[in-house]
Structure 1
């Protein structure tokens, strides 16, 4: 039996396999609101054969968007825009639907990637950004405003309110974005956090705000639904956040019964020096899993079914999240199952799709026509 296609339970949610559609920013929302593109995109991903779909990074407040096109969940309008999309997925797919909540911090107010991705000055239609310290992401950029006590409370409340809205929408779980140089990661990393209060300095202090946010969200989401956290295991910069600190953070999350830690890396600074290759982030997930016992999700240049199978079979991670591979091949799960001799779920409209040699891909079904 394929390890990748074995079931996995997260509280009250049992996934039929270990494949996750990674949250992928689309950068086309209108004032934070989802629309027809998200219906098409997420609808396609929901039929991929994966066990879980994580909706793209969703900003908890307008100023927390990475770009003006980021998805949001901060008011009635953004909540209402997502409702028909989630309802459509529920009608046509059994996939577990979770949502990634995040705040861009000092990396907010940026152009979309296909327009360069750089900071948009306030004079050009951008907005004032906030961070743990008044340190810019990139030399020459305007510095963010350091969050004071009132600002920290505002952001905590924004995560709480978005979690309530996500719960009303009926998602199966939440992932907090604590990676890629965004706000929660900024608090963790000494590269971005040079505060001298209880939220800066020591590792314990730098972990304080992300853990507070986790505690607030975990208290809002019902106990039968899982809550995970995405982390960057290393900044890829000397003197920055690293695997040892990530393990310490994961231990604290595990004490709070976190349901998974999705392990990525980088994003805190353009000075990072990353060594990239197939599965290059898998060892980070394995190290965290072995040191803490927490469920881990591995990401990063995992593109082939056999590669993903080895990650799970060799206990390097419990789940495998696919991003670019899903965009290139929206039926990635189908094709992985065919290669590994497994089965996936699909709507009856698609039952005649597999070639003869994979006729049992969707199970022992009968599809006849007059």
Structure 2
């Protein structure tokens, strides 16, 4: 064994950097202290881009899914394969995967925690687009699952409606209000469920009521026009809104996208005010950065996840038909953006229908090993 422990640290670092999955890095960490010290921390390889093969112009879900490093386009294998017969993914809330055996006529609907492999069976619900969790089922005493379902009329999608479920419920509870547009982002804060839709509207549900009740709908474009007047928006792009839970508060992020220019603004609104105003602009997140995709958005600390840069907004280009940008990184202070190109030559399949399209972000925030506690 003495020969193995004397392997140069540089060589171990090179070897560990080429391993395809975190499970292999776990084995290296467990050999000895020298190997552990010479191997990059597992957190250095996160977060990952979630990619799917669902056509870009549909409202979801991810469907057949995979995980990729943002830079270099290398596919990541978690070491615990998806259970047989559950090939479709309807979201990646927190550290969980929402999996189905069939999207239109499901007989199995499962929440699966990727590290412990714990599974929670949900009542089956057809045409689910996304699943959101108010808390981690393994640690939260009172958590709720919220599913967004596509509604069809004569073969055309007419919007989405929400369904609510707690572990003691026998079935899902449908929202009482009219359907929503496609959900762009969602977050939980102080007992409420906030989400923005493609119609530029913010909706807020009070989850402490039974059934959950819609307590606010705000047209965000009006607040943005009041902020900027009738001047051209930053970058000249079309705005998209995201809500992100960050350090005990809730932020509103506006992403502007144009063909060659992208910009971002972050606000700290007074959510309890009768009229939503975009006055308190945030330009410094400290050591944190925000990650935006379709659905869940979250914040990570650059000190804990050394792969990322501080005070940036990471965004996956899930709404583009052109496979040019895999993701973009915007510096919140300077609004300078970096393009992460689509790694077409490394993706599976030659035709557009076989391409993996970046959809959202996924990050295991609980450590694999006790010694790796963040």
* Structure holding more helix per residue: 1
Ranked by relative contact order (alpha carbons within 8 Å, sequence separation 6 or more), the top structure is: 1
* Larger-Rg structure: 2
- Indicate whether the TM-score tops 0.5: no
* TM-score for both structures, normalised by structure 1: 0.29
* TM-score for both structures, normalised by structure 2: 0.29
